[in-house]
Amino acid sequence: MGISRRSMIGAATIACLLALWAVLTMVTGTIDTLRFPSPVQFWQSAKQIMTTGYADGTLLSHALHSLELVVMGFVVAAAFGIPLGLLMGWNRRAEALINPVFLLIRPIPPLAWIPLAILWLGLGDAAKIMVIFFAAFVPSVINTFTGVRAIEPHLIEAARMLGTGRWRFTSEVLVPAAAPMIFTGLRLSLQASWTTLVAAELVGALAGLGRVLNVAQQDIYPSMVMVGMAAVGALGWGTTRVLAAIESRAMPWLIVRA
Amino acid sequence: MFLLGAAGLLGFLGLWWGLSASGLVAKQFLPTPLEVLARTLYLLTEPFAGATLPEHLARSFERYAYGFMLAAAVGVPLGLLMGWFRWLDDMVTPVFDGLRFIAPIAWVPFAALWFGTGIGGPIMIIFSGAFPPCLINAYRGARFVDRTYIEAAQMLGTGNLRTILQVLLPASFPSIVAGLRIGAGLGWQSLVGAELIVASAGVGYLMVQGQSNISTPTVMAGMIAIGLVGLLIDVALRQVEAFVRRRRGLA
Amino acid sequence: MSAIVFDNVGRRFERNGQSFPALEEVSLTVADKEFVALVGPSGCGKTTCLRMAAGFEMPSSGRVLVGGVPVHGPGPDRAVVFQQFALFPWKNVTDNIAFGLRNKGMLAAERQDRVAGIIKLMGLEGYETAFPHQLSGGMQQRVAIARAYVLEPEVLLMDEPFGALDAQTRIVMQEELVRIARINPRTVLFITHAVEEAVYLADRVAVMTRRPGRIKEILDVRSVREAEDWHRHTRVEDVMDLESFVHLRTHIWRSLREEKVDAEH
């Protein structure tokens, strides 16, 4: 397998940017390292948080804590959201009944729930999970709903013609047919979960990557802020890849998308 | 059907009111719907945390508008060019992919250090939220444009710039508009987040103050206002999108 | 006795608060094990007739009976082959075919036998674990026909089944269908707008008027086929070259053209 031209250009661009970064901060001093850290400073902060720790925890403990909360909120949201979306998509009555309430809740940005969550549940983990739940819940429902509505009518007619019972219809026709859109919803839910979690931790937390960012900001410690951001990005990327792997395992019949 | 909808809504409001009025949930935590409404009306004219609700909204919207317009002004042309010039795509995509996974909100501390409490901070956050959809949709629109349009243009002897402006751009327009709509939504959400953390005015700031003063009705009023504005933005842009699609015969 | 009876069937549909007749006084009988093709101009309601026999739609007036019983809803006794195949993309060939049998509660051993048998009959050997998207249009339609046949339905309803296939594949499938129908005869209602296809395949061809559709005339193809011994030719193009075939086809074309001319006045 040869290295494609594309990845060479990409690698070259990144190398150039890194070099530029190093030069502008350490050599020419064009960028004030009090505001924007140099690569060396970044590395030193990274080492610090990974070994001795920062803001009452090591990088690992903070990352795990954030990850825990995201996974919990995300899974609960999906567990409630997908069945609700299936119901609303399939049953017009259920949709008519639930839709108005849903339309009320939907426009409120997930982050806007944070102050309320803090009022209700304090600054602990419970409030975070609540906000993550609200953030992840809406995309799951909407996309599952859309997925059901988008099912080709002939597939449903074929299933009816073949005399399919209720339970089998849901598990072997409805869900697989809606699966691609359900996963789109899950991807959006995951994104929303991370955004909300970081925001909630920024507002107030005892542990987690958001706390790292918060404390680093208050300490005026830009390179640590950068380390925090990199960690957030890395975890976001990692969880997205896990979801993508689940997605391709779950739907082996789909032609691989470019 | 309509009756069912009304029933669902009333049921929800009734449940809310019941939980609150009966004292099952402390008034402090769950004010009745009426109290929230009253507070909202009150805040329309009386200031809280430095300004009235409409004034806070205006400040929020101002920042939002700047951030969003910046995101669109950078994202759309860049996306189009990336869709056209493969080498540009190869250069930018790795960098973009790397930064993309950092939740927009995670930029807040950085923005605070870099810009202090000036308007630059929120704009940066809004930009990081609104930029990806603007870029991605413009890129997709350009990249996956029907090859036959390009070939027709080439056959007619059209130069590069003109092809981009008069073939690629119009062909990608529906995708671009969809991207703008999504970006607008994400930008608004990012703004709220930013204001929760670093602001001295704006609707997010209002809610934070409401929270520290344990004024739940204020917090809820803020949520309603944010939701309403977000909804209006979305509805308006959906209309634009539908209009564009109809003009193209895509509806 | 599995006959399809359309007894003075009418169907109206609503649009913008007004009701329009799609079908009016359609009366047609498909006898047990008979193959009847229904042809007509676009929009004449021939697909609607099939859908009513299938149970996807209800007549506004009159009755549709299958095997003497009025149709209430869809079911495996009236198997449908759709123009768009309607195979479940997430199931492979075997699972698609077996699905209806599972719904009937058939046990695994018997099911496997039946499915293997139909796969052989339809020439699908080697594709048992393939997914629909990996198959050509013709192969997918074979799977759809297999799925219908394996149910051993009273009645087979085919809605322009070869309409989505390219011309060459279409001819091959027509020959296939004749072969299978000979081995395993069924009562069939076959919708098509391709007149040659109808004449080649059917025992009788019913011609519909334009909307609101009613049966204009019914031609007995079988007696001509037997009298002229079309069976001596196995290839479609040879049969379609016969004078008696051309005569029938041209008659139907003229009949359909009248409908079109009337529409344009």
- pLDDT category, A237, cuts 50, 70, 90? very high
Assess if residue C51 is contained within a domain.
yes
Q: What is the mean pLDDT of residues A87-103?
A: 89
In chain A, which residues have their Cβ closer than 8 Å to the Cβ of C73? 160
**What are C223-244's pLDDT values in tens digits?**
999 998 888 887 888 999 999 9
Amino acid at C9: V
C-chain residue closest to A153, CA distance: C86
Q: What is the dihedral of CA B152, B156, B157, B162, to 10 degrees?
A: -70
- Secondary structure E strands in chain A: none
A145 class by beta-carbon count within 10 Å (0-12 exposed, 13-18 middle, 19+ buried): buried
pLDDT at A257: 45
CA angle B79, B80, B83 (to 5 degrees): 85
pLDDT at A1: 47
Of C75, C91, C132, the CB nearest to A161: C75
Q: What ipTM is given for this predicted complex?
A: 0.87
pLDDT at A252: 84
In chain B, which residues have their Cβ closer than 8 Å to the Cβ of A233? 98-99, 101-102, 106
- pLDDT category, A157, cuts 50, 70, 90? very high
- Does residue A187 have a pLDDT over 70? yes
Chain C touching partners, 3 or more CB pairs below 8 A: A
Please, what is the average pLDDT of chain C?
92
pLDDT at A222: 87
Of A165, A252, A253, the CB nearest to C103: A165
C197 to chain A nearest CA, in Å? 24
> Phi first, then psi: what are they for C70, rounded to 5°?
-60, 145
Of A5, A14, A120, the CB nearest to B95: A14
B32 class by beta-carbon count within 10 Å (0-12 exposed, 13-18 middle, 19+ buried): middle
Assess if residue C19 is contained within a domain.
yes
Which residues is A218 bridged to in the sheet?
none
Q: Do B103 and A195 touch (CB under 8 A)?
A: yes
pTM for the model: 0.84
Please, what is the average pLDDT of chain A?
88
Measured distance CA(C210)–CA(C24) in Å, rounded: 11
Assess if residue C166 is contained within a domain.
yes
Assess if residue C253 is contained within a domain.
yes
A255 to chain C nearest CA, in Å? 8
B156 to chain A nearest CA, in Å? 30
Share of chain B above pLDDT 70, in %: 98
CA B45 to chain centre: 26
Assess if residue C101 is contained within a domain.
no
Judge contact between A163 and C103, C-beta under 8 A.
yes
**What are C135-189's pLDDT values in tens digits?**
999 999 999 999 999 999 989 999 999 999 999 999 999 999 999 998 889 999 9
**What are B157-194's pLDDT values in tens digits?**
888 888 888 888 888 888 899 899 989 998 998 888 88
Q: Per the structure block, which two tokens stand in for C57?
A: 């739609």
Which residues is C191 bridged to in the sheet?
C38, C159
A63 class by beta-carbon count within 10 Å (0-12 exposed, 13-18 middle, 19+ buried): buried
- pLDDT category, A258, cuts 50, 70, 90? very low
Q: Which one has a higher pLDDT value, B98 or B222?
A: B222
Tokens 């956050």: give the residue.
Answer: B125
Task: Give, in order, the Cα–Cα distances in Å from B75 to each of B98, B105, B128, B205, C168.
Answer: 16, 19, 11, 28, 49
Of C86, C91, C133, the CB nearest to A154: C86
Assess if residue C217 is contained within a domain.
yes
- pLDDT category, A154, cuts 50, 70, 90? very high
**What are B129-154's pLDDT values in tens digits?**
999 999 999 998 888 888 888 888 88
Q: What is the mean pLDDT of residues B240-246?
A: 87
Strands C4-15 and C18-30: antiparallel
Which residues is C80 bridged to in the sheet?
C157
In chain A, which residues have their Cβ closer than 8 Å to the Cβ of C75? 161, 163
Assess if residue C53 is contained within a domain.
yes
Which residues is C69 bridged to in the sheet?
C66
pLDDT beneath 50, residues of chain C: none
pLDDT at B23: 76
- State yes or no: chains B and C have 3 or more CB pairs below 8 A: no
C-chain residue closest to A166, CA distance: C103
Residues of A with CB under 8 A from a CB of C: 152, 154-155, 157-165, 168, 172-173, 176-177, 179, 251-253, 255
B117 to chain A nearest CA, in Å? 13
| Helix (H/G/I), strand (E/B), else coil: B26 | coil
Assess if residue C201 is contained within a domain.
yes
The structural domains of chain B, with segments of one domain joined by +, span 1-28, 31-248
pLDDT at A256: 52
What is the DSSP code (8-state) at residue A111? G
Measured distance CA(A186)–CA(A246) in Å, rounded: 11
Return the H-helix or E-strand segment holding B132.
Answer: helix B120-143
Measured distance CA(C202)–CA(C218) in Å, rounded: 11
Measured distance CA(C77)–CA(C54) in Å, rounded: 9
B37 to chain A nearest CA, in Å? 14
Tokens 């317009």: give the residue.
Answer: B69
Q: Give Cβ neighbours of residue A71 (< 8 Å, ≥ 6 apart).
A: A239
Q: Do A119 and B114 touch (CB under 8 A)?
A: no
| Helix (H/G/I), strand (E/B), else coil: C149 | helix
Measured distance CA(A224)–CA(A230) in Å, rounded: 10
Longest Cα–Cα distance in chain C: 62
A238 to chain B nearest CA, in Å? 9
pLDDT at B251: 53
pLDDT at C77: 92
Measured distance CA(B164)–CA(B80) in Å, rounded: 8
CA C157 to chain centre: 4
Of A173, A252, A255, the CB nearest to C88: A173
Q: Which one has a higher pLDDT value, A255 or C180?
A: C180
Instruction: Give C60-63's long-range contacts (Cβ < 8 A, gap of 24+).
Output: C60/C10, C60/C11, C60/C12, C61/C8, C61/C9, C61/C10, C61/C11, C62/C6, C62/C7, C62/C8, C62/C9, C62/C10, C62/C25, C62/C26, C62/C27, C63/C5, C63/C7, C63/C8, C63/C9
In chain A, which residues have their Cβ closer than 8 Å to the Cβ of C88? 155, 158-159, 172-173, 176-177
Q: What is the mean pLDDT of residues B116-126?
A: 81
Q: What does chain A come to in residues?
A: 258
In chain A, which residues have their Cβ closer than 8 Å to the Cβ of C99? 162, 164, 172
Please, what is the average pLDDT of chain B?
87
Residue ranges making up the domain that contains C225:
4-77+153-264
CATH code, domain with C170: 3.40.50.300
Task: Compute the Cα dihedral for C60, C66, C72, C75 and give only its sign.
Answer: negative
- State the CB neighbour count (10 A cutoff) for residue A241: 10
Return the H-helix or E-strand segment holding C191.
Answer: strand C187-191
Amino acid at C169: T
Chain B touching partners, 3 or more CB pairs below 8 A: A
C22 class by beta-carbon count within 10 Å (0-12 exposed, 13-18 middle, 19+ buried): buried
In chain A, which residues have their Cβ closer than 8 Å to the Cβ of C56? 157, 160
Task: Compute the Cα dihedral for C48, C51, C55, C57 and give only its sign.
Answer: negative
pLDDT at B247: 83
- State yes or no: chains A and C have 3 or more CB pairs below 8 A: yes
The domain made up of A37-250 has a fold known as MetI-like fold (1.10.3720)
Q: Do A115 and B207 touch (CB under 8 A)?
A: yes
In chain B, which residues have their Cβ closer than 8 Å to the Cβ of A67? none
Q: Per the structure block, which two tokens stand in for B178?
A: 């969809």
Measured distance CA(A110)–CA(A74) in Å, rounded: 13
Q: Per the structure block, which two tokens stand in for A221?
A: 């410690």
Judge contact between B162 and B155, C-beta under 8 A.
no
pLDDT at A3: 67
**What are A66-87's pLDDT values in tens digits?**
999 999 999 999 999 999 999 9
In chain B, which residues have their Cβ closer than 8 Å to the Cβ of A225? 109-110, 113
CB of A179 less than 8 A from some CB of B: no
Judge contact between C200 and C17, C-beta under 8 A.
no
In chain B, which residues have their Cβ closer than 8 Å to the Cβ of A6? 90
Q: Per the structure block, which two tokens stand in for C255?
A: 């009949």
A126 to chain B nearest CA, in Å? 15
Lowest mean pLDDT among A134-138, A142-146, A218-222: A218-222
Q: Do C76 and A154 touch (CB under 8 A)?
A: no
Q: Per the structure block, which two tokens stand in for B238?
A: 């959906």
- pLDDT category, A26, cuts 50, 70, 90? confident
Q: Do C90 and A158 touch (CB under 8 A)?
A: no
Return the H-helix or E-strand segment holding C70.
Answer: strand C69-70
Amino acid at C173: M
What crossing angle do the helices spanning C221-228 and C243-264 adopt, rounded to 10°?
Answer: 160
Q: Which CATH architecture has domain B31-248?
A: Orthogonal Bundle (1.10)
Measured distance CA(A136)–CA(C237) in Å, rounded: 61
- State the CB neighbour count (10 A cutoff) for residue B195: 31
A219 to chain B nearest CA, in Å? 10
What is the DSSP code (8-state) at residue C265? -
pLDDT at C11: 92
Q: Find, among C197, C201, C94, the residue nearest to C143 by Cα.
A: C94
Q: What is the mean pLDDT of residues B120-132?
A: 89
- State the CB neighbour count (10 A cutoff) for residue A19: 11
Q: Per the structure block, which two tokens stand in for A231?
A: 């960690």
Task: Give, in order, the Cα–Cα distances in Å from C88 to each of A84, A164, B175, C147.
Answer: 24, 13, 30, 11
